[in-house]
Structure 1
Amino acid sequence: MTTVFDLILRRLVQGHPEQLLLLLFGDQHPALIRMADSSLPQSERRADTVMVVEAHGARFAVDVEIQAQADPHFAARLLDYTVRIHRREKLPVLPVAIYLTPEAEGSPPPYGFECPGIRVLTFDFQVVRLWEVDYLQPALQTAAALLPLSVLESRAGPERIAWAELRIRQAPSLSTEERLDLLVVLGTLASRRFGQDRLSQHLRNIMIDSPFWEEQRALERKRVEVHERVETLLTFANVRGIPQPPDAEERLSHLGATALKALVNKALATPDTAATELRAILTPHGH
């Protein structure tokens, strides 16, 4: 997933912080006091969203970081952000990681390290997995800014696109600009998960006018290329008598378009070499 994808979601949650709190904490969410500066002291980086909230008479800051792709250094970076925000705001800080897809999730909390004989640091943070959220619960159905995220739910099928689009178009609380922004986000997320052919004509027209349309078309072409190359290699494996595990298609897809193309070309030019490489890829570990 791209930086542009990260940015449009960041804009989404920053524009509707009260609905973001509903997503993070449910009905009994803390009250929003103010949005805080997302810049970080003595750092060129910026946090995605920083809010100061209050619950049960206690104020604290919430640092929300959206992860659209895997980052092995994410937990350490979140620790750095938490310390910087704590020093500036002089408040406790609750760090929250929002993962868009299972592939974006890294090592589970807590993060920490130790030296011989002593545990030096244990750093915990809250995790929200968007594919696990039940967007059909009444409280979230009325949160228009969260509707585009509903297509990420693991139980959602392509029919969720029309469901979310209708509610966004009919939401009385949205301005015309907000409505268009949310429909663009919906179209982006839906086409990434289900393909552009699943979008309504109205949604496609909105997407065509957005700066993300060409990116979406490029991603769709890449998706098709990967699928075709995977199918070609699976056929080659059948011809060569190479055993295929249940996750054969997934294993090959993870290679990426460039590596798949190289392997397909090798299957045409030097089939014996390609068969050896393909067998190694498809052989389960430990065999």
Structure 2
Amino acid sequence: MASVYDLILRRLVQGHPDQLLLLLFGPNAPTLVRAADTSLPQSERRADALLIVEAQGERFAVEVEVQAQPEAGFSRRLLDYAVRAHLREGLPVLPVALYLLPEAEGAPPPYTFACAGRRVLSFDFLVVRLWEVDFSLPTLQKPALLALSVMEQTAGPERATWAETRLRQEASLTEEERLDLLVVLGALAARRFGSQWLSQSLRSVMLDSPIWEELLAEERVKLRAQISAQVSAQISAQISAQISAQVRIQERARTLLQFAKARKLVLPPEAEQRLTQMDATTLEQLVELAFSEPEAAARALLAAVSPQGH
């Protein structure tokens, strides 16, 4: 089931096809002929956008999928959508992956597979990375694209303030369109910079949207992950320290056993076990004594490994 976040993004790209084409193709964007039904034949899924366009006398379909998070098998799903759109529309299809965040990007095109030593399929698609788009270009100064501009790599939190002001002043938008775009802006700005950077007015708009709960849930997951990573690091450090201490104990025990062998001391069979059960400080003192006073060390070693009462 699509999240509220996905549904709002889908509504954005479907509601402004002309501006979406400018975002994907720049000033040489093909001319929009019509926006096609996004439901795909023999499938319960819907494309994010399916646009019938024309460029240099060629008519084709542009099938767009907006990716805000990584997805295993994304290329295969894009292939499935492209084939279904082609079968229904009877037109060539240009699939486009629109990545909102670097971490959402999957395996680069083409998607290929081979059988019996023969390449059976090589499926290519266009990749648009939102953070690489230069939103200062005049062609991209469009209302529906203002909300997306906060994802530009060079944008800071002030971009959200600028975009909000522009959207609130844009006379061409209906009140419903304005609220939709402000919600998208708030969602993307919160994801990019954190919800603390939202203005009070934008926060108020977000509070009335179901997407706010999704954003809070995301932040809680991130916080839990950070806490879990910190706890894991502490546990790992403790385990590492314990392992290091045990290694030191074993090394000192072996040193004392070699000392006993050199001194021809007769130790009980359980001597090594008794030594490894002693603390590192005591063993270190015995090793130092072996170098400074071998006779005293020999007596101390025998006393330490001999059964109690002997």
Fold-level similarity (TM above 0.5): yes
CA distance in 2, matches of 1:70, 1:80: 18
More helix, by proportion: 2
Does 2:258 match 1:272?
Answer: no
Match of 1:157 in 2: 156
Does 2:180 match 1:213?
Answer: no
CA distance in 1, matches of 2:192, 2:209: 18
Does 2:43 match 1:43?
Answer: yes
Match of 1:133 in 2: 133
Structure 1 segment 1-287 matched on structure 2, within 5 A: 3-141=3-141, 143-231=142-230, 240=237, 271-272=238-239
Contact 1:5 1:68 in 2 (8 A): no
Match of 2:288 in 1: none
SS, match of residue 18 in structure 1: helix
Match of 1:266 in 2: none
CA distance in 2, matches of 1:46, 1:76: 15
Specify the code of the residue in structure 2 equivalent to 1:82: A
Contact 2:49 2:64 in 1 (8 A): yes
SS, match of residue 26 in structure 1: helix
CA distance in 1, matches of 2:226, 2:160: 23
Specify the code of the residue in structure 1 equivalent to 2:13: V
CA distance in 1, matches of 2:43, 2:224: 40
Specify the code of the residue in structure 2 equivalent to 1:64: V
SS, match of residue 128 in structure 1: strand
CA distance in 1, matches of 2:78, 2:241: 42
Equivalent residue pairs, number: 242
Q: What TM-score comes out, normalization by structure 1 length?
A: 0.78
Contact 1:50 1:64 in 2 (8 A): yes
Q: 1:235 to 1:273 in 2, by over 3 A?
A: closer
CA distance in 1, matches of 2:241, 2:36: 55
Unaligned runs of 5+ in 2: 244-310
Q: 1:275 to 1:49 in 2, by over 3 A?
A: farther
Specify the code of the residue in structure 2 equivalent to 1:150: S
Q: 1:201 to 1:275 in 2, by over 3 A?
A: farther
Specify the code of the residue in structure 2 equivalent to 1:272: I
Q: 1:61 to 1:275 in 2, by over 3 A?
A: farther
SS, match of residue 127 in structure 1: strand
Contact 1:207 1:213 in 2 (8 A): yes
CA distance in 1, matches of 2:36, 2:242: 57
Among all aligned residue pairs of Structure 1 and Structure 2, give the percentage whose two residues are the same amino acid.
Answer: 62
Specify the code of the residue in structure 1 equivalent to 2:167: I
Displacement after TM superposition at 1:226 (Å): 3.4
CA distance in 1, matches of 2:72, 2:226: 27
CA distance in 2, matches of 1:46, 1:212: 20
CA distance in 2, matches of 1:224, 1:91: 47
The range that moved more, 103-112 or 68-77, is 68-77
Contact 2:13 2:48 in 1 (8 A): no
Contact 2:5 2:214 in 1 (8 A): no
Deviations 1:176-202 (A, max 9, x none): 111111001111111112111111111
Specify the code of the residue in structure 2 equivalent to 1:145: A
SS, match of residue 94 in structure 1: strand
Contact 1:52 1:61 in 2 (8 A): yes
Contact 2:4 2:210 in 1 (8 A): no
